Amino acid sequence: MEKPPVVTAEQWQQERDELLKAEKEATRALDAIAARRRRLPMVAFSSEYVFDTPDGPKTLLELFDGRTQLAVYQFMDRGPQHYCPGCTWFTGNVPATGLAGLNRNDVTWVTVSDMPLSQIEAYKAEQGWTLPFVSSHGTSFGQDCGSGGGFMLSVFLRDGDDVYLTYNTTQRGVDRLVFTNSILDLMPYGRQQAWEDSPAGWPQHPTYG
């Protein structure tokens, strides 16, 4: 296994300072994008969808749990006993303490899937997950959010009994939210995935291998 070259402390600091300039530029760019995101308009969204939950049927409005903002992760449905490895990886990185922090900021988190509730509950138990997870089975909720049968993070705002879609993202937009990936991106060998631009000799493997 190859390793980064060894240099003097002065050389290392010079290289680190150069990288820091690029990091600060990226941070400012992300701040500017977040500012644009906060200025996005919104679109009316039906609140009449009914989800199967461990506590009985609930509408989209009820999923807000009395809060003003709702973040929904759409977990792919790949059929009986088949589970998306990417959705599994993402969901396993959603911390309970993080959800409490969202709640304190008037945000409710819910994971939704077209899988039947019984399949969801079995997989939750197998994975040891405790986060809110409900079924949109038999509804068009996922399609109406724009997930197209895939995975997606959708954000909603409630004004009284009216619900609005304010934002959604998928693919790398979701990927960047994963805690483990963010830390691995700081490590010498990165995520060790085949798609990464790494020096020759760095360990790499298929994304879900």
Q: Can you give the pLDDT at residue 209?
A: 62
| C-alpha to C-alpha distances, 51 to 116, 117, 133, nearest whole angstrom | 10, 9, 10
φ, ψ for residue 148, nearest 5 deg: 60, 30
C-beta of residue 112 within 8 angstroms of C-beta of residue 74: yes
Local confidence band at 148 (pLDDT 50, 70, 90 cut-offs)? confident
Position 208 pLDDT exceeds 80: no
pLDDT value of residue 149: 87
Q: What is the pLDDT confidence band of residue 96, given thresholds at 50, 70 and 90?
A: confident
Domain map of the chain by residue range? 9-39, 43-175
- How much is the pLDDT for 81? 86
The string of pLDDT tens digits covering residues 167-190 is 999 999 999 999 999 999 999 999
pLDDT at residue 207, rounded to an integer: 86
pLDDT of residue 130: 94
**Please, are residues 165 and 43 in contact by the beta-carbon 8 Å criterion?**
yes
SS (H, E, C) the chain: CCCCCCCCHHHHHHHHHHHHHHHHHHHHHHHHHHHHHHCCCCEEECCCCEEECCCCCEEHHHHCCCCCEEEEEEECCCCCCCCCHHHHHHHHCCCHHHHHHHHHCCEEEEEEECCCHHHHHHHHHHHCCCCCEEECCCCCHHHHHCCCCCCEEEEEEEECCEEEEEEEECCHHHHCCCHHHHHHCCCCCCCCECCCCCCCCCCCECCCC
What integer is the mean pLDDT of 159-163? 97
Kindly indicate the confidence band of residue 112, based on its pLDDT and cuts at 50, 70 and 90: very high
Reply yes or no on domain 43-175 having CATH 3.40.30.10.
yes
Are 151 and 73 in contact, with CB atoms under 8 Å apart?
yes
Q: Are 156 and 166 in contact (CB under 8 A)?
A: yes
- The owner of tokens 């085949």 is 194
Q: Which of 66-70, 82-86, 172-176 has the highest mean pLDDT?
A: 66-70
Share of the chain above pLDDT 90, in %: 93
